[in-house]
Structure 1
Amino acid sequence: MVKIRLSRGGAKGRPFYHVIVTDSRSARDGRNIENVGFYNPVASGKDKRLELNVVRIQEWVSKGAQLSDKVASLVKEAGKQQAA
Structure 2
Amino acid sequence: MLKLRLTRIGARGKPAYRIIAADSKAPRDGSFIEILGHYNPLTNPETFDINKEKVEKYIKSGAQPTETVERLLAKAGIIERKVKVYKPKPKVETKAEPKAEPKAEEKSEPKAEKEPKAESEKTT
TM-score range relative to shorter protein: 0.7 to 0.9
Matched residues in 2 for 1:43 and 1:27: separation?
Answer: 27
RCO higher in 1 or 2 (8 Å CA, sep ≥ 6)?
1
Corresponding residue to 1:51 among 46, 49, 52: 49
Larger helix proportion of the pair:
1
Larger strand proportion of the pair:
1
- Trace 1:3-82 onto structure 2 (pairs within 5 A): 3-44=3-44, 49-79=47-77
* Secondary structure of 1:60's aligned partner: helix
State the match for 2:109 in structure 1: none
Aligned residues: 78
Residues 4 and 66, structure 1, Cα contact 8 Å, conserved in 2:
yes
Aligned partner letter, 1:63: S
Matched residues in 2 for 1:74 and 1:18: separation?
Answer: 12
Structure 2 stretches lacking a partner, 5+ long: 79-124
Residues 51 and 78, structure 1, Cα contact 8 Å, conserved in 2:
no
After TM superposition, the score normalised by the length of structure 2 is: 0.59
What is the RMSD of the two structures over their aligned residues, measured on CA atoms? 1.6
* Secondary structure of 1:14's aligned partner: coil
